[in-house]
Structure 1
């Protein structure tokens, strides 16, 4: 018999940030001229900002920070697969304007942000006193910030919890971590009587 799935409990990745080493020095001033949708203002920021806005790609809202060292930060994709594709896309763009890149890039997930729901309303005024590592100032912001500490696999996860039961998850490095963190949070809320099973 298949376990019952509560459709009110869910998570969906909204943004993936990856860093990549493309093993090539990048002449940022030259690239600012050659790449459309790029901005380079070294007086205010040491990297070149480059945006892809092409509807034919699944990562059509990807933005990049390119650094002269060959380090690339990519944000704006909704999956690790799309983030990897976006890095390979920027490498192709760089090759097209004469940058020699011969090595395979080293790509590392830095952060994933997801939205979701724990499946029921939450009393944030109670939760702030029941959980450690929380911040809640409703006159400043309607969400409660809850940082997981001491949970080895989930230790970098931070939640924003809202009274509606909606949540935002940051600090994850994989889809599995996102799903596991929602299960963990839900179990904690049930344990302290803030959610029904």
Structure 2
């Protein structure tokens, strides 16, 4: 981990979404026969891997694509994708595999520690939108895919970030306009 990848203490990660591809088909129809695997194919065309060591869970598609959700750190998401692959291999549902994780989204919260006048902020903050009749927070498009949802309480959420650096930069951009 580089120094730039250290998460600011004001930011708390709530969820990490990470994907991978096993590059082979998976028999999800048989999932309910095995411990730590489940599926309800009448409802969803996928299966799930979740054991007592996992924080989140991994969704498995018949194509071999995986989605990890519910973890708090990118490294934890990577480990859970690997763990899901190991469980599938143990039950001989897949052959040898290599997990190459791809981070899709990090959701984090922050607290600016003061009340925010959202209408006033919306008039000065570029790439922002505030329509209180539709949503109680100000939506600020920061960069690339990262968006901040800022509430009058001074609390907010960063969504769409793909790296720790994007989260840090996102909060920096918000603070820049709050303290403007």
Band of TM-score, shorter chain: 0.7 to 0.9
Pick from 147, 152, 156 the counterpart of residue 163 of structure 1. 152
The structural deviation recorded for 1:44 is 4.1
Contact 1:23 1:101 in 2 (8 A): no
Distance (Å, rounded) in 2 between the aligned partners of 1:11 and 1:139: 28
In structure 2, the residue matched to 1:190 is 179
Query: Where does residue 68 of structure 2 map in the other structure?
Result: 74
Q: Which residue of 2 aligns with 1:45?
A: 44
Matched ranges for 1:123-138 at <5 A:
123-138=117-132
TM-score (norm 2): 0.85
Alpha-carbon distance between aligned partners in 2 of 1:94 and 1:184, rounded to the nearest angstrom: 43
What is the deviation of 1:35?
4.4
Question: Counterpart of 2:10 in 1: which secondary structure?
Answer: strand
| Aligned 8 A contact 2:89 2:96 in 1 | no
Matching residue of 1:93: 87
Match of 1:11 in 2: 11
Normalising by structure 1, we get a TM-score of 0.78
- Match of 2:106? 112
Gap regions ≥5 residues in structure 1 = 1-8, 149-153, 192-197
> Could you list the runs of 5+ residues in structure 2 that have no partner in the other structure?
1-8
Q: Compute the RMSD of aligned alpha carbons.
A: 2.0
**DSSP 3-state at the match of 2:70:** strand
Taking the aligned partners of 1:117 and 1:69, their CA distance within structure 2 comes to 41
Q: Report which stretch shifted further, 96-105 or 18-27.
A: 96-105
CA drift of 1:53 comes to: 4.9
Provide the residue aligned with 1:6 in structure 2: none
| Shift of residue 52, structure 1, vs aligned partner | 2.0
Query: What is aligned with 1:84?
Result: 78
